[in-house]
Amino acid sequence: MKEILVVAEIRQGEVRPITYELLNISKCVNGKITCILLGNDVKEIAKELADKADEVLLIQDDSLENFNSELYWHALKEVIEERKPYIVAMGHTSMGMDLAPYVADQLDLPIVTDIVRIEEKDGRLVVHKYVYNNKLLAELKLKESEGYVLTIRQGEFKDEVGGKEGSIIERSFSPPETLKKRFIEYIEPETVGVDISKADVIISVGRGIEDEANIELAEELAEMINGVVAGSRPVIDSGWLPKERQVGISGKTVKPKLYLALGISGAFQHIVGMKDSDLIIAINKDPEAPIFQVAHYGVVGDIFEIIPELVDKLNQ
Ligand SMILES: Cc1cc2nc3c(=O)[nH]c(=O)nc-3n(C[C@H](O)[C@H](O)[C@H](O)COP(=O)(O)OP(=O)(O)OC[C@H]3O[C@@H](n4cnc5c(N)ncnc54)[C@H](O)[C@@H]3O)c2cc1C
């Protein structure tokens, strides 16, 4: 049976959400899903991951407390050479971008990065990724190989697998005596107000909101329905909302239960970031606006008439 080796991502003792997305690859490609967990004192995490993998390979050592691509490679090498997995999968994150090319180069395996979809067609592995500055979605039929290294874009594979009760196998690790790279310090990223990628309800405003002062309208509505306000790129570029509130290809990918798009045309670069929301409702005065192609419900109308009415109704 083919094996898919997922490299778990741990930061400051916690599993990064991308790990769960990677484990979800088992829904796209047939094979045994093995999760390799490298860290220090991470046995409890291994138990959690075993719910979503057929097997968890646990490698614990003081030296693996923080990510170091050189050390990770040493820990991974033996496993990969022994198991010869069909796919070695990592997140398209700072960790994956550092480690994956190195692994591919060392093992002379083909690599495809920043993948948004994977499937098998006629016995061949087919992956999808955006090219030409995210303007085109390419479908790549990979040349035959005994294995592949892939990095997966965050937010593209829903966290759905579970109930696997995989086995946990602990392996020993002896770090090399000399290393070219060493961990110096972890610098906590500056905390920003709201993480829209975790929000259940998003009120998203586009250029149709016309002015910074009108954002208040969306904020009032958001407050009433426990939502957060996000926006399209022009709104962010105008400085009306902070950068971390941008939805889209150069912003964040979101999957809320409700995405309410107000005055957003639905450019491809925006759609990519919100198309998988559970329920999309769009209000736009242009009946031809592309946003209606992805919306579950569309209202053709003026947001400055509809939103105050909606707020009034909710107040009743
Ligand atoms: C490399 C690159 C990366 C990009 N990344 C992103 C990204 O991450 N996110 C993103 O959003 N964009 C991104 N863009 C920009 C993208 O191409 C679009 O320009 C942008 O999404 C358009 O934003 P919008 O829909 O708010 O504005 P517009 O396209 O100007 O649309 C405004 C809409 O509001 C409607 N409207 C106007 N007034 C009202 C009203 N009173 N009531 C109802 N409807 C009204 C109009 O009919 C129109 O459809 C990127 C572009 C490039 C080239």
Using the predicted structure, report yes or no on whether residue 156 has a pLDDT greater than 90: no
- Which pLDDT score, from 0 to 100, does residue 269 have? 86
Per-residue pLDDT tens for 268-291? 889 989 998 999 999 999 999 999
Instruction: Identify the residue whose C-alpha is closest to ligand 1 atom 3.
Output: 250
- Among 97-106, 161-170, 216-225, name the one with the lowest average pLDDT: 161-170
Per-residue pLDDT tens for 16-57? 989 999 999 888 898 999 999 999 999 999 999 999 999 999
Dist. CA 245 → ligand 1 center (Å): 14
Residue 114 is encoded by which pair of tokens?
């920043």
- Which pLDDT score, from 0 to 100, does residue 191 have? 60
> 206 CB under 6 A from ligand 1?
yes
> 232 CB under 6 A from ligand 1?
yes
Only one residue has tokens 């759905």, namely 160
DSSP, residue by residue, 149-168: EEEE-TTSS---------EE
Is this prediction's pTM over 0.75?
no
Reported as a pLDDT band with limits 50, 70 and 90, residue 126 is: very high
**Cα–Cα distance measured from residue 178 to residue 119, given in angstroms and rounded to the nearest whole number:** 41
Dist. CA 282 → ligand 1 center (Å): 13
> 151 CB under 6 A from ligand 1?
no
The domains of the chain, with CATH numbers, are 3-171 (3.40.50.620), 196-315 (3.40.50.1220)
The identity of residue 60, as a single letter, is Q
> 290 CB under 6 A from ligand 1?
no
- Which pLDDT score, from 0 to 100, does residue 192 have? 64
Using the predicted structure, report yes or no on whether residue 228 has a pLDDT greater than 90: yes
Instruction: Identify the residue whose C-alpha is closest to ligand 1 atom 26.
Output: 206
Only one residue has tokens 């736009």, namely 284
Contact criterion met (CB below 8 Å) for 91 and 157: no
**Averaged pLDDT for residues 226-237:** 96
> 39 CB under 6 A from ligand 1?
no
- Radius of gyration of the chain from its Cα atoms, rounded to whole angstroms: 22
User: What sections of the chain are H helices per DSSP?
Assistant: 17-23, 43-49, 69-83, 94-107, 215-224, 233-237, 268-271, 291-294, 303-315
Using the predicted structure, report yes or no on whether residue 159 has a pLDDT greater than 70: no
**Cα–Cα distance measured from residue 129 to residue 234, given in angstroms and rounded to the nearest whole number:** 25
Comparing CA positions, the residue from 234, 238, 288, 284 lying closest to residue 260 is 284
Comparing CA positions, the residue from 73, 119, 111 lying closest to residue 89 is 111
